[in-house]
C-alpha cells in the first residue's frame, strides 16, 4: 500500500509517499504532487522509515513511577489538575506545547486550558523559534501573516538569506532555490550570516556580519534607499505609514556606508553592492530565520527587514516579500489555533476587539460556558520562572523537552523538580525530562497520528495515520478529550475523530471576524468536511474562503493590510547590541544551531545510524586564531563555560567561524552525551516584544578539557 503524508521535521513541510503493509513501513520517497517539495526529500526525510520501531517507545501510562492503566492515569491527571485549581486558582495550572503537535492536538489543548480550565498560561516551544517573526508581522501588517510562497523564491531576481543556513536547516527549499538559480542565471543570492555555511555555495555575495548587527545593516539600507532616491513613494503613499519615523530612527546613527560597514564589521564595498542590488530590483525575497528571531531584539530586526520591503514596494508581487521560515513542522499550525500565550484563539489576541466574547459564545454548549482568562499568560521562559516562584503548581508538557532547549536549562530543571505536578505526554521512554514527571502519558508519533500541519508558506497538509501506535500509546487529542470528560467538560469536547476537531477549528477561523486582523486567517471554506473529504484533503494555503476556494498563494496583492486603516506600518527601529555582554571572563560570542542530519534532541533522528555519520558527537566550532589563543586543538576535547552552565565537546577548528565567536549544535542531551546541553550555556535574555530568548548570542569562555 502507498499512503501520502507529510514529513515531521522542518517547516518546509515536504510531502512523503510511504510504502507499507499497515504494520511496517518499507520505503519512503518524496511526493511529486506535493507543492512544497515536488518529489524531493532531504536526508532526514528519506531516512524516516529507519527511525521507526517500537524499541524505546513508551507503551504504558505511569503515575508516581508505577505503570497503570489508562483510566487510572486519566483520573489522576483530571483529579490533580482539579485539586490544584481548587487550592490555588485557575492560573496555577499551565501547559507547554510543541511545534511537533498536529493542529488538532493544539486546538484541543488551547480550548481545554484557555477555554475551560480558565488559565492563560499555555505556551509552546515555537516561542523559541519564530515568536519574533510573528511579532514583527503583526506590528507591520496588523496580522501574523507570511506574505510569500515558496514559488516566490524561484520567481525572485534577488534572494537575500539572513540568519539562515538554508542548506542544512531547510534543505529542500535550498534545493529548490539552487535549481531556480541554475535555470535563471540572472538571479542573485546574497547570504548575510556571521558563519560561512554550506548555503554560501550559491551566494553571489556574502556578508559575514557581526552577530546581532542585522537591524543596523537594514536601517542603513533604508537610509541608503532614501538618499539614492530609490524609495517607491507611490506605494508608500498609497499603502503605508510611518516612513518618516522609521527613517528618523535609522538616521539616529551615522548611515554612511563606511559607518554601517564598521558597525556590522563587513567590507564597505560588499555592503554597497548589496544595497545597490536590493534597491535596483523589484522582485526581491528576503528570507530570514532563527539568526534573526533568536535575539533580544529579534522583533526589531524583522521589522527593519520588513521596512525595506515596504519602502521599495517589494511585497504582494510574484518573487517579492519578507519571508520568515519556521523551524518546526507545525509552528504555523500552533499560531493558527492560539498556541502562543499572548494569543487567545484562531489568530485572535486578547485585545482583539470583541474576541473574548466571540470565543466564549463559539465554545459555549447548551449546558457549558467556557471560563476564558481576560489577558495573556506567561511566555515560555516566564512560565518556568513562575513555576520557580511557586505561582504555577501544575504543568502539562507535550512533545518537547524544555530541560534541554530552554535557556538557563539547569534552572528549568530545578523549577521542574520543585513543581508539585508535572505531567509529560511523550513518545520515547528514555528522555531525561521523564525524571521530573509525576505522570507519564505514552503518546502516538509520526506515522501513527492523524491530522494536519501548516508549513512556512501557510500550506495546510495532512499527516496520515499509517501504523498502529505501540502498546497503549494514544493520540494527544484523545488523551486531552478523556481528561476534559473527567473534568465535566465532555459536551464541549465530544470529538471522536480529528476531522471533527478540524471542522470546529475551520468554523472558528471564520466566526464573526470580518472587522479585525484575525480575518486574514480564515479557512472557513474547509469547514464541514466529512471524514472521507478530510482524509482526502489536498495541500492548500490559507486563507481558504468562498472567494478563494483553492487557497491563497500570496497575501497583500491588493496593497491592503490587516490594520484598521488597511495600511502597513514602517516601524522605527533603534538597533541594540546582544543582551549577554562579552567580558574578560566571557570573551567569546556563542552561536547555536542545528546540524544537517539531526532534529531537535535526536529522539528520532538519533535512531538512524546513517544520520549519525554526519556529526557523530557534540562539537565546538572555533576559528584557528582562537584555537591558538585558548590552547585548544583540532579534534581535542574542550569546554565552554558561562555563569549558567558548561558544555563539553570536540573542537572543530574552522575558518567558517569569525574570530571571537564559537558555534555549538543544539541537539545533544545528557542521554546521548554527558554535559553537552546547549541550553545550559545560555542565559535567559528575552526580546521585550516577542518574549523569544536570545539563543544566538551567548557569552562564554573556552578552555581545554
Ligand atoms: Fe523533511 Fe524538512 Fe527535509 Fe523536507 S526539508 S524532507 S520537511 S526535514
Q: What is the DSSP string of 610-621?
A: HHHTTS-S-EEE
Which of 8, 18, 170 for mutating ligand 1's site (highest number of atoms within 8 Å of CB)? 170
CA-16 nearest atom, ligand 1: 6
Task: Give 368 Cα–ligand 1 centroid separation in angstroms.
Answer: 42
Name the residue at shortest CA distance from atom 3 of ligand 1: 42
What confidence score (pLDDT) does residue 671 get?
62
What confidence score (pLDDT) does residue 673 get?
60
Helix (H, G, I), strand (E, B) or coil at 317: coil
Task: Give 266 Cα–ligand 1 centroid separation in angstroms.
Answer: 32
CA-170 nearest atom, ligand 1: 5
Residues of the chain with pLDDT under 70: 670-674
- Gap between the terminal Cα atoms of the chain: 53
What confidence score (pLDDT) does residue 593 get?
87
Task: Give 41 Cα–ligand 1 centroid separation in angstroms.
Answer: 6
What confidence score (pLDDT) does residue 92 get?
98
Which of 5, 14, 330 for mutating ligand 1's site (highest number of atoms within 8 Å of CB)? 14
Name the residue at shortest CA distance from atom 2 of ligand 1: 10
Task: Give 505 Cα–ligand 1 centroid separation in angstroms.
Answer: 26
Task: Give 46 Cα–ligand 1 centroid separation in angstroms.
Answer: 9
What CA dihedral angle connects 243, 249, 250 and 254, to 10 degrees?
140
Angle between helices 214-227 and 243-250 (to 10 degrees): 120
What confidence score (pLDDT) does residue 192 get?
98
What residues form DSSP beta bridges with 639? 648, 703
CA-30 nearest atom, ligand 1: 6
Task: Give 451 Cα–ligand 1 centroid separation in angstroms.
Answer: 18
- Answer whether 463's CB lies under 8 Å from 448's CB: no
Helices in 616-679 by DSSP H: which ranges? 624-630
Residues with CB under 6 A from ligand 1: 7, 9-10, 12-14, 37, 41-42, 44-45, 170-172
Q: Model pTM greater than 0.90?
A: yes
Spell out the domains of the chain, with CATH numbers in brackets. 2-51 (2.20.25.90), 62-128+338-449+468-494 (3.40.50.740), 131-325 (3.40.228.10), 588-704 (2.40.40.20)
Q: Please report the ipTM that was assigned to this predicted complex.
A: 1.00
Sign of CA dihedral 234, 235, 240, 244: negative
Report pLDDT digits (tens) over 411-462.
999 999 999 999 999 999 988 899 999 999 999 999 999 999 999 999 999 9
Amino acid at each position: 500500500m502507498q499512503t501520502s503524508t507529510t514529513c515531521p521535521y522542518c517547516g518546509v513541510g515536504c510531502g512523503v509517499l510511504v510504502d507499507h503493509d499497515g504494520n511496517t513501513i518499507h520505503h519512503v520517497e518524496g511526493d511529486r504532487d506535493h507543492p512544497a517539495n515536488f518529489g524531493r526529500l532531504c536526508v532526514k526525510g528519506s531516512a524516516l522509515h529507519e527511525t521507526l520501531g517500537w524499541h524505546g517507545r513508551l507503551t504504558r501510562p505511569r503515575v508516581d513511577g508505577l505503570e497503570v492503566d489508562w483510566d487510572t492515569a486519566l483520573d489522576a491527571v483530571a483529579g490533580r489538575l482539579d485539586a490544584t485549581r481548587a487550592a490555588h486558582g485557575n492560573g496555577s495550572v499551565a501547559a507547554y506545547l510543541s511545534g511537533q503537535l498536529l493542529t488538532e492536538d493544539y486546538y484541543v489543548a488551547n480550548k481545554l486550558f484557555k477555554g475551560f480550565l480558565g488559565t492563560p498560561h499555555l505556551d509552546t516551544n515555537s516561542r523559541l523559534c519564530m515568536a519574533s517573526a510573528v511579532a514583527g508581522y503583526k506590528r507591520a501588517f496588523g496580522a501574523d501573516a507570511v506574505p510569500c510562497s515558496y514559488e516566490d523564491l524561484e520567481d525572485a531576481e534577488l534572494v537575500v538569506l539572513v540568519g539562515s543556513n538554508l542548506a542544512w536547516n531547510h534543505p529542500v527549499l535550498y534545493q529548490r532555490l539552487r535549481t531556480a538559480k541554475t535555470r535563471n542565471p540572472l538571479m542573485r543570492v546574497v547570504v548575510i550570516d556571521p558563519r560561512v555555511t554550506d548555503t554560501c555555495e550559491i551566494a553571489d555575495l556574502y556578508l559575514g556580519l557581526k552577530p546581532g548587527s542585522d537591524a543596523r545593516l537594514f536601517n542603513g539600507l533604508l537610509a541608503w534607499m532614501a538618499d539614492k532616491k530609490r524609495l517607491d513613494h507611490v506605494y508608500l503613499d498609497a499603502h503605508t505609514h510611518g516612513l518618516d519615523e522609521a527613517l528618523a530612527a535609522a538616521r539616529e546613527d551615522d548611515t554612511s556606508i563606511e559607518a554601517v560597514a564598521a558597525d556590522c564589521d563587513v567590507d564597505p564595498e560588499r555592503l554597497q553592492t548589496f544595497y545597490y542590488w536590493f534597491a535596483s530590483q523589484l522582485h526581491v525575497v528576503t528570507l530570514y530565520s532563527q539568526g534573526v528571531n533568536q535575539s533580544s531584539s529579534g522583533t526589531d530586526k524583522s521589522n527593519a527587514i520588513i521596512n525595506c520591503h515596504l519602502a521599495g514596494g517589494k511585497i504582494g508581487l510574484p518573487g517579492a516579500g519578507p519571508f520568515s521560515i519556521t523551524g518546526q513542522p507545525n509552528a504555523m499550525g500552533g499560531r493558527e489555533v492560539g498556541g502562543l500565550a499572548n494569543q487567545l484563539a484562531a489568530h485572535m489576541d486578547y485585545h482583539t476587539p470583541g474576541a473574548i466574547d466571540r470565543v466564549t459564545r463559539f465554545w459555549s454548549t447548551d449546558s457549558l460556558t467556557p471560563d476564558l482568562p481576560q489577558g495573556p499568560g506567561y511566555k515560555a521562559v516566564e512560565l518556568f520562572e513562575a513555576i520557580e516562584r511557586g505561582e504555577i503548581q501544575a504543568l502539562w508538557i507535550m512533545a518537547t523537552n524544555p530541560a534541554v532547549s530552554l535557556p538557563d536549562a539547569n534552572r528549568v530543571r530545578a523549577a521542574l523538580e520543585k513543581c508539585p505536578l508535572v505531567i509529560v505526554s511523550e513518545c520515547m521512554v528514555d528522555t531525561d525530562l521523564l525524571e521530573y514527571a509525576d505522570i507519564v502519558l505514552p503518546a502516538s508519533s509520526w506515522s501513527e497520528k492523524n491530522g494536519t500541519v501548516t508549513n512556512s508558506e501557510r500550506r495546510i497538509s495532512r499527516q496520515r495515520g499509517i501504523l498502529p501506535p505501540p502498546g497503549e500509546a494514544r493520540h494527544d487529542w484523545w488523551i486531552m478529550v478523556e481528561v476534559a470528560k473527567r473534568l465535566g467538560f465532555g459536551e464541549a469536547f465530544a470529538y471522536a475523530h480529528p476531522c471533527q476537531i478540524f471542522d470546529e477549528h475551520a468554523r472558528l477561523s471564520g466566526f464573526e471576524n470580518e472587522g479585525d486582523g484575525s480575518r486574514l486567517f480564515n479557512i472557513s471554506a474547509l469547514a464541514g468536511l466529512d471524514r472521507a473529504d478530510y482524509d482526502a484533503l489536498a495541500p492548500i494555503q490559507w486563507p481558504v474562503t468562498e472567494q478563494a476556494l483553492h487557497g491563497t498563494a500570496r497575501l497583500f496583492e491588493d496593497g491592503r493590510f490587516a490594520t484598521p486603516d488597511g495600511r502597513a506600518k514602517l516601524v522605527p527601529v533603534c538597533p541594540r547590541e546582544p543582551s549577554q555582554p562579552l567580558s574578560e571572563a566571557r570573551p567569546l560570542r556563542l552561536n547555536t544551531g542545528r546540524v544537517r542530519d539531526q532534529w531537535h534532541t535526536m529522539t528520532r533522528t538519533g535512531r538512524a545510524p546513517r544520520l549519525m555519520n554526519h556529526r557523530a558527537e557534540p562539537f565546538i566550532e572555533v576559528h584557528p586564531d582562537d584555537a591558538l589563543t585558548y590552547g585548544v586543538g583540532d579534534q581535542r576535547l574542550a569546554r565552554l563555560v558561562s555563569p549558567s552552565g558548561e558544555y563539553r565537546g570536540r573542537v572543530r577548528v574552522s575558518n567558517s567561524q569569525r574570530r571571537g565567536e564559537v558555534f555549538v549544535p543544539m541537539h545533544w542531551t545528557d542521554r546521548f552525551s554527558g554535559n553537552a546541553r546547549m541550553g545550559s550555556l545560555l542565559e535567559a535574555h528575552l526580546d521585550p516584544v516577542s518574549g523569544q530568548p536570545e539563543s544566538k548570542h551567548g557569552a562564554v569562555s573556552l578552555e581545554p578539557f
